[in-house]
Amino acid sequence: MAKAVVRAGLVAVGLAWALIAQVALAAEMKTYVVAGSQAATLDSCVEPTDIMRRKHMEFIQHQRDKTVHGGIRSSKHSLSGCVDCHVRDEPDGEAVPIHQKQEFCGACHAFTAVNLNCFDCHAAVPKGPGAALASKAAYQAVGLEQSPRAVSDGKEH
């Protein structure tokens, strides 16, 4: 009888621990936004985080057709906007390609083992004079006046 009580008690303690561990995990849910990127300074992405995690690929897939066929460059779901906001600069000012394993896109795609081939063709860092235009358009689409990155670039040069 006493043995059964002890066993039940142990099971209860085990269950309780498991529950606490779950809650703790949920509370400090891993974020892939890298420190040093513009995204880290902003409150939210272009959509709520849970929706972005599930649907970002659909957003950029629909947006790409509008851009390639319709020439619309003012969408908030713009890949160059993603890159501009989420890319991290090295201390020497050089941006780190966003699909590298420790970076915003690369880290999560490596963890989930989902092949990421956007950057076979697309620039993985903002590059060229067109990058500032593209990022400005993306920031404007969510109501921010201008890309903080573009502003800081302007001051440096």
Partner 1 sequence: MTDHHESNTGPAECGPSQPDRRTFMATAAGVTAALVAPGVIMHSVAGPRTEAVTSDVRWGLLVDTAKCADGCSACIEACDRENGLDLQTQPSGAQPTRWENQKSVWIRKVKLQDNQTGRVTNLPLMCQHCEHPPCVDVCPTGASFKRADGIVLVDRHTCIGCRYCMMACPYKARSFVHEVMSNQLTRVPRGKGCVESCTLCVHRRDYGEESTACVDACQAAGHEAIIFGDLKDPESPIRMRLAELASRQIREDLALNTGVRYAGF
Is residue 130 near partner 1 by the rule CB under 8 A?
Answer: yes
Q: What angle do CA 30, 31, 35 make, to 5 degrees?
A: 130
| Region of 19-27, 51-59, 68-76, 149-157 interacting with partner 1 (CB under 8 A) | 68-76
Contacts of 13 (CB under 8 A, 6+ apart): none
Q: Does 121 bind partner 1 (CB under 8 A)?
A: yes
Of these, 22, 44, 49, 74, which contacts partner 1 (CB under 8 A)?
74
Rg over alpha carbons for the chain, rounded to the nearest Å, is: 21
Report if residue 115 touches partner 1, rule: CB under 8 A: no
Q: Which is nearer to partner 1, 9 or 130 (CB)?
A: 130
Tell me the C-alpha distance between 135 and 146, whole Å: 8
7, 47, 57, 134 from 143: Cα distances, Å: 60, 13, 22, 15
Q: Is 66 in the site for partner 1 (CB under 8 A)?
A: yes
Q: Closer to partner 1 by CB, 53 or 127: give it.
A: 127
Q: Tell me how far, at minimum, the Cβ of 66 lies from partner 1, in Å.
A: 7
- 36 burial (CB, 10 Å; 0-12 / 13-18 / 19+) is middle
How many angstroms separate the CA atoms of 6 and 14, rounded?
12
Q: Binder to partner 1 among 120, 143, 145, 156 (CB under 8 A)?
A: 120
Interface with partner 1 (CB under 8 A):
64-74, 80, 83, 120-123, 126-131, 133-134, 136-137, 140
